[in-house]
Amino acid sequence: MPLFVEEEPVFPESSCGVGPAKTLTMEEQRIVGGTEAVKNSWPGIVALKKNGTFICGGSLIARNKILTAAHCVAAIPQREVKLLTVELGIHSLLPSKKAGVITKKVRRMTRHRRFNPRTFFNDIAILTLESNVDYKSTISPVCLPSANSNADQYADKDATIIGWGTLIEGGFQSAVLQQVTVQLMTNAKCQSFYAGKDKIFDHMMCAAAPGKDSCQGDSGGPLLVQPSPGSPWIQTGIVSWGIGCARPEHPGVFIRVASFLNWIRRNMRS
């Protein structure tokens, strides 16, 4: 089962939600921009590949389960699941930098049945690996939010996005894992930016910062918050969609993980 943090996480070999002690604040990043993550400082991140080519990020939620976005695998028919692999303990996408990386084949992909590729409604999926992964310092699961999380619990709080997406809109993909701090906002505020364009559903959440955002290639990866200094990092969102990258009039949109806890639990049993 995935780990849901309410007070102290309990885990036999490794606590969930391992991450850096702190990340750069938004104010610091306005000077230096997004930064390369410290190698293996986010042991819950994974890279999803098809035929050896990177397609999306994802996160480890149990020994054989990966959480990602449905649109990452929406165009992949079931007969091609055998072409999917997940790399864990990974920092660089370069073939020459594979020391310590574990590669697992995907046995099954489960997209939300009501996923809509036009509106990104229910943009969530779980991948089942062919075998369990052993937890260690470089590979351990993310923490998922508790069931009593309310919709705007983290509004106006800092959150961290991690991934290998392009560094600027229309630019080149990063070869190494990047991290950037953004600020969460209420859905009402987010909808005001997208008024007349797109619907921000209750199971979505938004975040932004001047010149900071997720971008192409970050899809499926985690949006994480650290409720208090030194506490485990909690995956509150999944990178889903947006208009462009880091455009001031269009915040990034994420799937709200807390809205899908029952769906995740059901699909953890399969």
- Per-residue pLDDT of 25-60, as tens digits, reads 544 433 224 688 999 999 999 999 999 999 999 999
Distance from C-alpha of 124 to C-alpha of 67, rounded to nearest angstrom: 7
Q: At residue 261, what are phi and psi to the nearest 5 degrees?
A: -60, -40
Position 267 pLDDT exceeds 90? yes
Q: Which of 59, 112, 123, 174 is catalytic?
A: 123
Residue corresponding to tokens 């397609």: 55
Interval 167-189: pLDDT, tens: 666 667 889 999 999 999 999 99
Q: Which of 219, 240, 250, 259 is catalytic?
A: 219
Position 17 pLDDT exceeds 60? yes
Q: Which CATH number fits domain 35-41+142-258: 3.20.20.70, 2.60.40.420, 3.40.640.10, 2.40.10.10?
A: 2.40.10.10
What mean pLDDT do residues 253-267 have?
95
Looking at residue 28, its pLDDT comes to 41
Identify each DSSP E strand in 96-135 by its residue range: 102-111, 125-129
Q: Is 158 a catalytic residue?
A: no
What mean pLDDT do residues 128-150 have?
92
Please, where in the chain does CATH 2.40.10.10 lie? 35-41+142-258, 45-141+261-269
What mean pLDDT do residues 221-244 have?
92
**Amino acid code (one letter) for 151:** A
Q: What is the 3-state secondary structure (H, E, C) of 6-31?
A: CCCCCCCCCCCCCCCCCCCCHHHHHH
Interval 157-172: pLDDT, tens: 999 999 998 766 666 7
Longest Cα–Cα distance in the chain: 49
- Sorted by sequence, the CB contacts under 8 Å of residue 21 that are 6+ apart come out as 229, 230
Position 232 pLDDT exceeds 50? yes
Report percent pLDDT > 70 for the chain: 84
Looking at residue 41, its pLDDT comes to 96
Class (C level, CATH) for 45-141+261-269: mainly beta
Position 227 pLDDT exceeds 80? yes
Residue corresponding to tokens 């102290």: 8
Distance from C-alpha of 240 to C-alpha of 216, rounded to nearest angstrom: 10
Distance from C-alpha of 167 to C-alpha of 178, rounded to nearest angstrom: 9
DSSP 232: P
Name the pTM for this structure. Answer: 0.89
Residue 87, CB half-sphere, CA atoms under 13 Å: how many? 25
Looking at residue 153, its pLDDT comes to 83
Q: Is 112 a catalytic residue?
A: no
Residue 199's nearest CA partner among 146, 241, 147, 166 is 241
Q: Which of 71, 91, 112, 250 is catalytic?
A: 71
Distance from C-alpha of 186 to C-alpha of 190, rounded to nearest angstrom: 6
Q: Is 174 a catalytic residue?
A: no
- Total residue count of the chain as it appears in this document: 270
Looking at residue 15, its pLDDT comes to 83
